[in-house]
Amino acid sequence: MLEQEFKHLEDKIDTLLSAQQELRRKNHSLLNNEKSLMNERTELMKKNDLARNKIEAMISRLKGLEES
């Protein structure tokens, strides 16, 4: 009986270890995805600022032409 209980505990431990390893892999993957998305966000914000600056410059030039 005791041997059967040990076997049952061993199986539970193996299952938990497998689940823990899978969660570690998923967590690592999610962290990599987060880092990638943060880099992409930074690049998109830079592009947005550049576009905004160009549009503001065009508006200023158009206002200057209107005043002439």
pLDDT tens-digit map of 1-53: 899 999 999 999 999 999 999 999 999 999 999 999 999 999 999 999 999 99
pLDDT tops 90 at residue 68: no
Question: φ, ψ for residue 44 (rounded to 5)?
Answer: -65, -35
3-class secondary structure, 1: coil
pLDDT computed for residue 1 by the predictor: 85
Task: Give the DSSP per-residue string, 35-61.
Answer: HHHHHHHHHHHHHHHHHHHHHHHHHHH
